[in-house]
Amino acid sequence: MKAETLGFFERVYEVARQVPFGRVTSYGAIGKYLGAAKSARIVGYAMNGSHNKDVPAHRVVNKKGLLTGKHHFEGTNLMQQLLESEGVVVIDNQIQNLESVYWDPAKELK
C-alpha cells in the first residue's frame, strides 16, 4: 500500500475516534471532511483495517444509516450490538432516526 494511502487511513481513524458515544457518521462525511469528497469507498477500506487500532468503527455507517460494514466485525451482529449498547436503535441493519444520532465532522470539528 502506498504511503499516502496509509497517511489517509490514519487521518480517517483520527476523525472516527472523535465520533461521540451514541452517535454515528458516514463514510462519505469523513471523506468530505478530509477534502476527498468522492472517497467514501476508500474510507470504508480504512475502516475495515481499523480493528485493533482503538477506532470505534461501529460508529461509521453508510449515508442511509445501513450497517454495510457489519460483516467486518467478529460475530454475526457485533456492530449492531455495539451501537445498541450506546443507545442507537437498529432495525433490519438500519439505524432508526438517523438524523437524531448523526454526527457530521464538517460541522462538529472546526
- What domains appear along the chain, each with residue ranges and CATH number? 3-108 (1.10.10.10)
Report pLDDT digits (tens) over 4-35: 666 999 999 999 999 999 999 999 999 999 99
Parallel, antiparallel, or unpaired for β 25-26 and 90-91?
A: unpaired
> Which grid cell sits at 71?
460483516
Q: Residue 51: what pLDDT?
A: 82
Q: Residue 76: what pLDDT?
A: 79
CA distance 77 to 75: 6
Instruction: Answer yes or no: is pLDDT of 2 > 70.
Output: no
The SS3 call for residue 26 is: strand
The amino acid present at 64, given as its one-letter code, is K
Report pLDDT digits (tens) over 60-90: 999 999 999 998 888 879 999 999 999 999 9
Q: Find cell 463514510 and name the residue.
A: 27
